[in-house]
Amino acid sequence: MERVGGLLVKTGATSYLGPAMARSSSPHSPAGTPPSPHGAERFNEEKATSAIRGADQPDMDQGIAVIREVVATLKPQPGVYRMLDARGDVLYVGKARALKNRVANYTQVDRLPNRLRRMVSLTRSMTIVTTNSEAEALLLEAQLIKRYRPAYNVLLRDDKSFPFILLRSDHAFPRIMKHRGARKAKGNYYGPFASAGSVNTTINALQKLFLLRSCNDGFMARRDRPCLLYQIRRCSAPCVGRIDEEGYAELVRQARDFLSGKSGAVQREIEAQMSEAAEALDFERAAMLRDRLRAATFIQGSQAINAEGVGNADVFAVAAKGGHVGIQAFFIRGGQNWGHRAFFPTHTDGLEEAEVLTSFLAQFYEDVPPPRLILVDRLLPEADLLAEALQGGAGGKVEISVPQRGDRRRLMEQAERNAVEALDRRLAETGTKAKIFREIADFLELGDPPDRIEIYDNSHIQGTNAVGGMVVAGPEGFRKGQYRKFNIKRPETQPGDDFAMMREVMARRFSRAQDEDPERDKGMWPDLVLIDGGKGQMTAVRETLEELGIEDVPLIGVSKGPDRNAGREVFHFPDGREKMLPINSPMLFHLQQLRDEAHRFAIGAHRAKRSRAITASPLDEIPGIGPARKRALLLHFGTAGKVRAASLEDLQRAPGVSAAVAQTIYDFYHP
């Protein structure tokens, strides 16, 4: 069984090892299984970009021989195949209606483009997974591409999950909140939204419009008077009985209708209520309803794209220029625009734009529930297959169409314009960054412009909850999926010793790199290390790397100038030299951005760790007491101290606590 999206699919998996893999003693050899996803994500993309150089004939012959061995064992049935190199790294993931026919095509190298010829020459083993249908194969292919990030597949380089609005239904007074990640909580989910900012803005307006609570259940249960949100008319205060359950349910019903696209009906309903209040001379209620109408108008007025009459749909348009591809996405729900975002997939050289869009959509909807209508700007070669594969996540039949007229066509034209403009901006930024990276290489005395820059910083308060942060950046921007945090935990690291913290971080980071990528060909090693600090931090890092036998990683320390004046940063070299840049230098501004991002990430990790420590409870130490029982005990007794002082009989009377659990708690505090 393999998990495909949210489904378990019956599959049969077989690994085929070529001669090079069969003789290998690598831990990946027995199953031909690639290394961890993180290792695959850092896979050296030069294998893809060097495709045009062709391949040596002996390597090509060996790759063809491996593929022919696999073809001899295959049947014409649907499935997914993975091509692996000699190290076990995944080169390519593909799906097929008939595996035997599809894989056999790779032995006819004269018909393959240079890119795929190079891939065949690198292939030393294959893994085959059979599925029940081609639609299942398409879903599994998308899942494996996102997991292993192969060098020869189109990749959706986006590490952010999309935020949703969640209107929970597991409480008498449902809560409205922002949600990311798995949709496990009971309730109605509305989205996706393009950014957290658009969700926050919408929730703030919805609170004014429907006066729904946003606090968690524990906070609500402890209230004995309304909070500030009630005073500023953004909550109806169900916590203290200012509204009954029936009245609150009516607000929830209106919110569901509004978010489901019935905004006009909700507005007319509120207008009627306002007129009734005014006629009854209840001017305070009329003013409150007027404010709610203004909030509704704000939400609708903030929709920069006119999507009236479209209903629920996702809109995608493609732009291509100079070997780069951009895809613009609009998210329309209930006729309202819930945001838009531009994507720039990689590994698109030599591929048709329709093929790129098909692969993009399969990966995009791996994590995002698809709507019943998907609008695209061109015919897709496998539109029917993709629609069939997506209908499980959409809860019904999915339509993928190219709009020809009316509101849908006007919306598509707007998406096409945005796609071209977004790609133009991307190319302009890329050109500017390429120039800046060349200047950085000259200024910092590097041989070539760096492709992978790692920036390090530490954060703590007087040595407590100390955390080290690593940020990764490249010419395309920050690579947030490769950020790492280091909890400072070695006994020899004294609290508050910044130099010792930096030694621990660097020792752990580069010891792991030596173990996992000793040949330095998987993209794990940086071309430049920036340290947020001066001479002391630089000395600590340099000595740590020398102890590990690493002397060829470029190191630069960045410290603020006199009086810690930002803009007068000093760059410290390992040999003790110092340099500065003009205050208006674009290169200085870019290096400041890198340093500030590391600072932000380290502080965020420290705050999260500190918050967990603050909210930790003595009940966490009791074996067998999970979050639900801990919550029940605290709600019943009030504090952890009262739980400790409770008798066995009192513990047994607590809701959700059995006699055995009560005995466990009592014995823990009374050994």
DSSP character at residue 3: E
Range of the domain at 542: 453-603
What's the pLDDT tens digit per position in 436-456?
A: 888 888 898 888 889 899 999
| Same domain assignment for residues 540 and 505 | yes
Q: Are 123 and 83 in contact (CB under 8 A)?
A: yes
Nearest C-alpha neighbor of 22 from the set 88, 80, 71, 114: 88
In a domain, 335, yes or no: no
Q: CA-to-CA distance for 363 and 357, rounded, in angstroms?
A: 10
| Same domain assignment for residues 457 and 593 | yes
What's the pLDDT tens digit per position in 181-197?
A: 777 888 888 878 877 77
Mean pLDDT (whole number) for 352-367: 90
Q: What angle do CA 364, 367, 373 make, to 5 degrees?
A: 60
Domain end (from 556, 572, 603):
603
Number of neighbours of residue 438 by Cβ within 10 angstroms: 14
Q: How confident is the model at residue 51 (pLDDT cuts 50, 70, 90)?
A: very low
pLDDT at 159: 52
Maximum separation of any 2 CA atoms in the chain, in Å = 92
In a domain, 507, yes or no: yes
**662: pLDDT strictly greater than 80:** yes
In a domain, 434, yes or no: no
Q: Could you tell me the pTM of the whole model?
A: 0.67
Element (H, E) at 383: helix 383-394
What three-state secondary structure class fits 85?
coil
pLDDT at 307: 60
DSSP character at residue 657: -
Mean pLDDT (whole number) for 15-23: 44
Q: Which of 68-72, 81-85, 211-215, 428-432 has the lowest mean pLDDT?
A: 428-432
In a domain, 435, yes or no: no
Q: Quick one: tokens of 605?
A: 């990790």
Sheet of 90-96, strand order? 12-17, 125-130, 79-84, 90-96
pLDDT at 94: 93
Q: CA-to-CA distance for 377 and 284, rounded, in angstroms?
A: 51
Distance set, CA 641 to CA 347, 646, 669, 670 (Å): 59, 9, 11, 13
Q: Quick one: tokens of 268?
A: 């007319």
What's the pLDDT tens digit per position in 575-602?
A: 888 888 888 888 888 898 899 999 899 8
**Highest averaged pLDDT of the listed ranges 95-99, 297-301, 656-660:** 95-99
Q: Which of 247-251, 319-323, 561-565 has the lowest mean pLDDT?
A: 561-565
Mean pLDDT (whole number) for 237-261: 86
What's the pLDDT tens digit per position in 113-137?
A: 888 889 999 999 999 999 999 989 9
| Same domain assignment for residues 524 and 651 | no
Domain end (from 407, 423, 439):
423
pLDDT at 3: 46
Dihedral-angle region of residue 230 (phi above 0 means left; psi in -120 to 50 means alpha; beta otherwise): alpha
Q: CA-to-CA distance for 36 and 87, rounded, in angstroms?
A: 12
DSSP 561-599: -GGG-TT--EEE-TTS-EEE--TT-HHHHHHHHHHHHHH
pLDDT at 25: 33
Residue 192 preceded by cis peptide, ω within 30: yes
Q: Are 535 and 558 in contact (CB under 8 A)?
A: no
Mean pLDDT (whole number) for 219-232: 86
| Same domain assignment for residues 573 and 637 | no
| Same domain assignment for residues 255 and 132 | no
Handedness of CA 169, 173, 176, 177 (dihedral sign): negative
| Same domain assignment for residues 238 and 351 | no
What three-state secondary structure class fits 205?
helix
**Gyration radius from the chain CA atoms:** 29
In a domain, 430, yes or no: no
Q: Regarding beta strands 528-532 and 7-9, do their DSSP bridges make them parallel or antiparallel, or are they unpaired?
A: unpaired
**Hey, what amino acid is at 379?**
L
| Same domain assignment for residues 226 and 284 | yes
Mean pLDDT (whole number) for 136-165: 84
Higher confidence at residue 212 or residue 55?
212
pLDDT at 18: 46
Q: CA-to-CA distance for 670 and 512, rounded, in angstroms?
A: 44
| Same domain assignment for residues 198 and 234 | yes
Q: How confident is the model at residue 425 (pLDDT cuts 50, 70, 90)?
A: confident
Q: CA-to-CA distance for 403 and 651, rounded, in angstroms?
A: 65
pLDDT at 71: 92
Mean pLDDT (whole number) for 257-265: 75
**Highest averaged pLDDT of the listed ranges 278-282, 344-348, 392-396:** 344-348
The mean predicted confidence, pLDDT, of the chain is 81
Q: How confident is the model at residue 305 (pLDDT cuts 50, 70, 90)?
A: low
Q: CA-to-CA distance for 287 and 598, rounded, in angstroms?
A: 48
**52: pLDDT strictly greater than 60:** no
| Same domain assignment for residues 67 and 196 | no
Mean pLDDT (whole number) for 276-302: 74
Q: How confident is the model at residue 81 (pLDDT cuts 50, 70, 90)?
A: very high
- We report the CATH number of the domain holding residue 20 as 3.40.1440.10
Beta bridge partners of 178: 165
Q: Which of 11-20, 288-297, 298-307 has the lowest mean pLDDT?
A: 11-20
In a domain, 81, yes or no: yes
Q: CA-to-CA distance for 606 and 469, rounded, in angstroms?
A: 9
Mean pLDDT (whole number) for 393-420: 88
Element (H, E) at 559: strand 555-559
In a domain, 41, yes or no: yes
pLDDT at 111: 87
- We report the CATH number of the domain holding residue 632 as 1.10.150.20
Q: CA-to-CA distance for 195 and 192, rounded, in angstroms?
A: 9
Burial 72-99 (b: 16+ CB within 10 A, else e): eebeebbbbbbbbbbbbbbbbbbbbbeb
What three-state secondary structure class fits 185?
coil
Here the contacts of 263-268 (C-beta below 8 Å, separation 24 or greater) are 263/296, 263/299, 263/300, 263/334, 263/335, 263/336, 266/296, 267/293, 267/296
Mean pLDDT (whole number) for 156-179: 82
pLDDT at 613: 63
| Same domain assignment for residues 8 and 144 | yes
Q: CA-to-CA distance for 232 and 228, rounded, in angstroms?
A: 6
Q: Quick one: tokens of 170?
A: 């597991």
pLDDT at 299: 63
Q: Regarding beta strands 164-168 and 464-474, do their DSSP bridges make them parallel or antiparallel, or are they unpaired?
A: unpaired
What's the pLDDT tens digit per position in 34-47?
A: 344 434 444 444 44
In a domain, 433, yes or no: no
Q: What angle do CA 367, 371, 372 make, to 5 degrees?
A: 140
Mean pLDDT (whole number) for 146-161: 80
Dihedral-angle region of residue 286 (phi above 0 means left; psi in -120 to 50 means alpha; beta otherwise): alpha
Q: CA-to-CA distance for 15 and 29, rounded, in angstroms?
A: 10
| Same domain assignment for residues 232 and 368 | no
Distance set, CA 296 to CA 112, 236, 304, 416 (Å): 56, 17, 15, 29
Query: What percent of the chain is helix, strand and coil (3-state, nearest 5)?
Result: 45, 20, 35
Q: Are 120 and 64 in contact (CB under 8 A)?
A: yes
Higher confidence at residue 469 or residue 35?
469
Q: CA-to-CA distance for 130 and 363, rounded, in angstroms?
A: 20
Backbone angles phi, psi at 162, to 5 degrees: -90, 140
Q: Quick one: tokens of 443?
A: 């200024």
pLDDT at 336: 75
| Same domain assignment for residues 566 and 657 | no
**80: pLDDT strictly greater than 90:** yes
pLDDT at 144: 92
Q: Are 145 and 34 in contact (CB under 8 A)?
A: no
How many domains are there within the chain? 5
pLDDT at 464: 79
Q: Are 579 and 558 in contact (CB under 8 A)?
A: no
